[in-house]
Amino acid sequence: MKMLSRTRNSAVRCLLLYHQQTASSKIYKRWKSNVVGFIGLGNMGIPMAKNLLKNGYQLIGYDISANRMEIFRQESHGSVQTGNTLQEVVANTEAVFTMLPECTHVLSAYSVLLESSKKNQVFIDCSTISPDTSKKVAEMVESKGCKFLGAPVSGGVVGAVNGTLTFMVGGDKDTLVAHQCLFNAMGSRTIYCGNHGSGLIAKICNNMILGMSTVAVAEAMNLGIKLGLDPKLFASVINTSSGRCWASEVNNPVPGALENNCPSNNEYKNGFKADLLLKDMNLGKTLANNSHVPIPLTDKTVEMYNALSSKGLGDKDFSVVYKYLKDL
């Protein structure tokens, strides 16, 4: 029932968009009839791709890991196709999403997948990478006569599952408008940030806050609990006081502090890997160093995540910083 009403809502949104766009531009495409490619079926990619499926799109998925492809096929109950190569996905789709870990993965994937691109095909990269890498990928894509949007996301795995991600988009605005229905299937907000790379500046600066606020909640809760406070009671105090933030209210780093299925309640599994947060904080450091802007708290947070990663915790959700501090 829920799925049906989501599909109907998306269809209504698409219809509204159609009316807006036929009035303002002729570039509208009926995406419902087109096949979408999804490359990178990790913690974020699988739930995002599943939301495209739920909203009525046909999908071809691909991941370099056979295991992730198998998980995707199982979770989609056979209603999805998977490709054998990047080129195969691109050759058989109209719009292609990429959701890959780091700059190197995105560059190497695009240098291969563009071999089978078609003129005017649209590529949307949702990975968090450096703005400069995103601009380079945009050039590669546009040199093939195709279109590119850099559209990193916020909202975590929970937002990906619930279809409530925020997209921060850089690139050509008309291309975004023409493909808004695809974004609506996976998120609740799409914010146009400006030229290529601008969405990534917003995303990276946001994640600097995410890392720092998570360390702040972990540090304060570790002290309060060591001084005798009950984790659940203390979390409820913070969440009705001035310390309240996403890290305390949604992704609390202390096991048992919240009654939701955040990673700390699941041995820090299936969330946003600490090594990926470290990657984002380092991207922030590079942007700040290049523009001579001081970021003392980010520097300290990076030190902490480097230490945590060298203890073998880099694959856990980044809220594992609480466990790291507790065990020091």
The DSSP code for 108 is H
Residue showing the smallest CB distance to ligand NAD in the complex: 42
Residues forming contacts to ligand NAD in the complex (CB under 6 A) are 39-45, 62-65, 68, 99-101, 105, 108-109, 127-128, 153, 156-157, 271-272, 276, 280
**Which one, 7 or 206, has the nearer CB to ligand NAD?**
206
**Which one, 65 or 306, has the nearer CB to ligand NAD?**
65
Planar angle of CA 274, 319, 72, nearest 5 degrees: 65
**Which one, 17 or 287, has the nearer CB to ligand NAD?**
287
HEC string of 266-322?
HCCCCCCEHHHHHHHHHHHHHHHHHCCCCCHHHHHHHHHHHHHHHHHHCCCEHHHHH
CB of 32 to ligand NAD, least distance (A): 26
Strand, helix or coil for residue 220: helix
Helices assigned H by DSSP within the chain: 2-24, 45-54, 66-75, 86-91, 103-113, 131-142, 156-162, 173-178, 180-186, 198-226, 231-238, 246-249, 274-290, 296-308, 321-327
Would you call 285 a catalytic residue per the annotation? no
Phi and psi at 283, nearest 5°, equal -60, -40
Strand, helix or coil for residue 250: coil
CB of 99 to ligand NAD, least distance (A): 5
**Which one, 178 or 277, has the nearer CB to ligand NAD?**
277
Tokens of 318: 């980044």
**Which one, 122 or 168, has the nearer CB to ligand NAD?**
168
**List 50, 203, 279, 316, catalytic entry:** 203
In DSSP notation, 122-159 reads EEEE-S---HHHHHHHHHHHHTTT-EEEE--EESHHHH
Active site residues: 203
